[in-house]
Amino acid sequence: MRGSGVRSRGLGLAVLSACAFGGSGVAAKPLIDLGFDPLQVVWMRVVVAALVLAPVALRFRALPRQRPGLIAGFGLLGIVGCQALYFVAIARIPVGVAILVEFLGPALLLGWIRLVQRRPVTRAAAVGVVLATGGMTCVVEIWSGLAFDALGLLYAFGAACCQVAYFVLADHGTEGSDAPEPVAVIAHGLLVGTVALTLVAHPWTMRWSVLGHQAALGDRDVPAVLLVGWIGLVSTVVAYLAGVTSVRRLSPQVAAVVGVLEAVVATVLAWVLIDEHLGAAQIIGGALVLAGAFVAQTSAAPPAGGPVDTPAPPPAARPATPELSR
């Protein structure tokens, strides 16, 4: 009974994490429409989260000296790359389309395993890649010469590539008995991200007074500062902490599958709150993308030396993707 209760709480935390990550794009897009540069919105998100997790970074202050490559790569690719490219993408294409393109990450990760690491993959994982790739052709309506801005799609694809780097780094970062605390990796990664984004986002040029204005969330007006708080506290701090805790109570594979809800949540919220409707082809394609991610991430673990499946994100990674959704 006790084990069942732990799993139930873990499942609830995984769902909370997926929902929190999924809401980042919907909250960020009104800020971008209000006049903020997408990189400045990411900067605000990362700074808020870094300040909240600063005590964790202080407690594990020796970590950057012990694992400098992991911290730098995690901060620059796993946090800045994923989030910045995703936010730049949603400035040009619908939130739902951007998050679905980012969910090509598991398929790209299989390509890394097969082509770079020269390791075979299982048939189930290959089927997942085929489903995800076929679904993506429907999402972007490739038969009509791409239904959405090509540059926006390219940015979203870049976010998917950064997501692969995120998974690979997180996987290496949790190997061995001296593996660092996942939350500490996240905290220091956010600090690295803050420094990097400060150099490229030029926050000193921001019109700070705009944060006192109302932002249009569909047909509603909400305080801009509330949206900043949401993406920093809920879509980053709560999402990461809930995700890390859920993976410890569930298997990484189960947490990863629940994390697929992130794309569903992002798409539904964009539909309901900011009136970004997807056509029938995008809905069918999105279902295929998520089915592909599901199939690829839920195969049984192979025997030693056998073909490998798509590795589920380890504890240092978010339970399903990317977002940081995003």
CB 135 within 8 A of CB 294: no
In angstroms, the CA 275 to CA 96 distance is: 11
- The token pair that represents 190 in the structure block: 């956010």
- How far does CA 244 lie from the centroid of its chain? 13
Per-residue confidence at 282, pLDDT binned at 50, 70, 90? confident
pLDDT at position 299 over 90? no
Lowest mean pLDDT among 5-19, 112-126, 219-233: 112-126
In angstroms, the CA 256 to CA 234 distance is: 19
pLDDT at position 318 over 50? no
How big is the chain, counted in residues? Answer: 326
> Which of 250, 278, 310, 253 lies closest to 130 in space, CA to CA?
310
- Where on the phi/psi map is residue 301: left (φ > 0), alpha (ψ -120 to 50), or beta? beta
pLDDT tens digit string along 240-266? Answer: 888 777 766 765 556 556 667 787 888
- The token pair that represents 79 in the structure block: 């946090």
Question: Which helix (H) or strand (E) is 41 found in, with range?
Answer: helix 38-52
DSSP notation for 152-207: HHHHHHHHHHHHHHHHHHHHHHT-STTPPPHHHHHHHHHHHHHHHHHHHH-GGGS-
Degrees, nearest 5: CA angle 128-171-313: 45
pLDDT at position 6 over 70? no
pLDDT tens digit string along 158-192? Answer: 998 887 777 777 655 555 556 678 889 889 999 99
Counting Cβ atoms within 10 Å, is residue 241 exposed (0-12), middle (13-18) or buried (19+)?
A: buried
Query: Within 13 Å and on the Cβ side, how many CA atoms surround 271?
Result: 13
CB 10 within 8 A of CB 245: yes
In angstroms, the CA 77 to CA 247 distance is: 22
- In sequence order, what are the residues at sequence separation of 6 or more whose Cβ sits closer than 8 angstroms to the Cβ of residue 102? 82, 86, 156, 159, 160, 163, 321, 322, 323, 325, 326
Mean pLDDT along residues 220-236: 94
What confidence score (pLDDT) does residue 300 get? 40
Going from the C-alpha of 223 to that of each of 14, 32, 64, 228, the distances in angstroms are 29, 14, 37, 9
What confidence score (pLDDT) does residue 317 get? 35
What confidence score (pLDDT) does residue 95 get? 87
pLDDT tens digit string along 149-164? Answer: 889 989 998 998 887 7
What confidence score (pLDDT) does residue 247 get? 67
What confidence score (pLDDT) does residue 279 get? 80
pLDDT at position 146 over 50? yes
pLDDT at position 118 over 70? yes
What confidence score (pLDDT) does residue 251 get? 59
Percentage above 70 pLDDT, the chain? 77
- How far does CA 206 lie from the centroid of its chain? 25
In angstroms, the CA 17 to CA 201 distance is: 27
pLDDT at position 30 over 80? yes
What confidence score (pLDDT) does residue 178 get? 65
In angstroms, the CA 235 to CA 81 distance is: 16
CB 74 within 8 A of CB 169: yes
Mean pLDDT along residues 21-50: 94
Lowest mean pLDDT among 72-86, 233-247, 260-274, 282-296: 282-296
